[in-house]
Amino acid sequence: MRDNSSILPLLSTIGPFNEVPDEYNAEDSLNALKTSKVLVIGAGGLGCEILKNLALTGFKNIDIIDMDTIDLSNLNRQFLFRREDIGKSKAEVATQFILNRIEDPDLKINPYFGKIQDKSIEYYQQFQVIISGLDSIEARRWINATLIGLVDNDVLIPLVDGGTEGFRGQSRVIIPTITSCFECSLDLLSAKVTYPVCTIANTPRLPEHCIEWASQLEWVKTFPGKKFDADDMVQVEWMYQTALSRAKEFNIDGVTKALTLGVVKNIIPAIASTNAIIAASCCNEAFKLVTNSNPILNNYMMYTGDDSIHTYTYEHSKKSNCAVCGNLAKNVTAQNWWTLSQFIDEISSKQEVQMLKPSLTTSQRYLYLTNPPELEKVTKENLSKKLSTLISPGEEIVVTDPSLPISLRLIVSFEGGETDPEFA
C-alpha cells in the first residue's frame, strides 16, 4: 500500500520562494491534496506518466479521459499497457493498472472512454486543476476555450498543458483570462508538412510524395466516398503497396511500411524520456497549484534534448487579438483578385487560425456557412465571387468552425490588382 510519507516533507516545510508565507498552512495543503479533483486528458505517452505521477504524489481523486484504444505501436513508450491490452480502452486499462499496482483504498480514478467534447460543461466545473497530455491541437484548443468560457460563470480552473515532439517538449500553466492561453500560442506550434499537389501528381522526388499520391489521389479514385482508416492493416498494406509501386516507377527509394503509416497518420515522434520529463513538470505545477507550497510556473517551460540538454522558462504574453481570450480583431490583408474560396483557403492554412470547415459571416450577410446543409447550398455560390465584391474594406468578418467553440474576428483590407498575376 502507498502512503504519503515521502510527500509530507514538501508540505510541512514551506517552499523557499513562497510569496505568502504567513498564509501557508501545512494541514490545509495536505487536505487540499487529498480532496482536490484533478482531470487528466489523454492516456497516451504523456498521460500514462501524468497519471502515475499524480497517484504517487498523493492526489486521491482523479478522472482520466481518452478516446483511443491501445495499439501495438504504443507499447514502447506507454508503459501502463501490455500486449494483451491491444484493442482495449487506454483510459480504462491505465486506470486499472495504477489501482492494482498502488493498492491504495483511498485512491479513486474514474476513467472515461470517449471524446472530451462529449462531456457537459457541468462535468468540467467540478475539477480544481485540469492537465492536458493531448497530441490533438483541435482538442487542446477546445478545452482551452471551454475553460475560458467558464470564467463567465465565475468558475476559474487552471489548465496545465504539456506536449512533446521527439527530444523536445514544453509545459505551461494557463490561468483562464489572466495568462496567455493556448490559442495565443498557435503560431509557436510546428506546422504540418504539406506537399504541392502538382509535385505529388507529376514530378515526385521524395518517398513522402509517393505516399501522399497514394493517399490523396489514388485512394479517392479507387475507393470513392470511403474514408481511409489508418488503423486497418489491410488498408495500410494497400496504401504501402500503391506508394511503393509509384516509387519504383520514378526510381525513388525509401518507401517503407513504417514511413507510410507515419505519413498517413501524421505521426509525431515520441520518446519515453521526453514524455517523463514533461509529465513531471506538469505534475509539479498541479501539485503547487493545489497546495500553494511554492509559486507556479509563469508561464511557459521549454525543454530541448536533441542537442545537449537545454531548458528555460519565460512568460508568454497574451495577445489582444486572440480569438479566445482577447478583445480585438485580427487585421488581415487580402488580394483584390481573391475569390471568397481563395480567401478561406488562405486563412485556414495560417498557423494562428487552423480551421478545417470555416463559416464566415458579417453583420450584414452570410458569406459562407458549412452548416446546416440548406444554408450551405444557398451560400455556396459566394465561393466563386471576389471577396472585394462581398465586403467593404475594413469590414469585420466573423469566422467559426463546428469543431471549435470560438469565434475569430477579422478586419480585412485589400491590396494588389484585380487580376491573378499568373494570368495577367
| Confidence check: pLDDT of 246 > 70 | yes
Mean pLDDT of 98-108: 93
pLDDT score, position 203: 82
pLDDT above 90 covers a percentage of the chain that reads 51
Superfamily of segment(s) 7-166+269-297: NAD(P)-binding Rossmann-like Domain (3.40.50.720)
Strand partners, 401: 404
Q: How far apart are CA 206 and CA 336, in angstroms?
A: 36
Q: Are strands 37-41 and 404-415 parallel, antiparallel or unpaired?
A: unpaired
Map out the domains of the chain as residue ranges.
Answer: 7-166+269-297, 197-265, 330-415
Mean pLDDT of 54-81: 92
Mean predicted lDDT score pLDDT of the chain: 88
Mean pLDDT of 201-206: 84
Residue 248 pLDDT grade (very low, low, confident, very high; cuts 50, 70, 90): very high
CATH of 330-415, one of 3.40.50.1000, 3.40.50.450, 3.20.20.140, 3.10.290.20: 3.10.290.20
Residue 1 pLDDT grade (very low, low, confident, very high; cuts 50, 70, 90): very low
Superfamily of segment(s) 197-265: Ubiquitin activating enzymes (Uba3). Chain: B, domain 2 (1.10.10.520)
Residue 383 pLDDT grade (very low, low, confident, very high; cuts 50, 70, 90): very high
Catalytic residues: 198
Cβ distance 73 to 59 under 8 Å?
Answer: no
Mean pLDDT of 141-162: 93
Mean pLDDT of 395-404: 87
Residue 229 pLDDT grade (very low, low, confident, very high; cuts 50, 70, 90): confident
Determine which of 5-19, 68-82, 85-99 has the lowest per-residue pLDDT on average: 5-19
Q: How far apart are CA 131 and CA 282, in angstroms?
A: 7
Q: Are strands 129-132 and 396-401 parallel, antiparallel or unpaired?
A: unpaired
Q: How far apart are CA 301 and CA 164, in angstroms?
A: 12
| Confidence check: pLDDT of 245 > 90 | yes
Q: How far apart are CA 387 and CA 412, in angstroms?
A: 10
pLDDT score, position 306: 85
Mean pLDDT of 229-245: 89
pLDDT above 70 covers a percentage of the chain that reads 92
pTM of the model: 0.78
Mean pLDDT of 7-21: 70
| Confidence check: pLDDT of 319 > 50 | yes
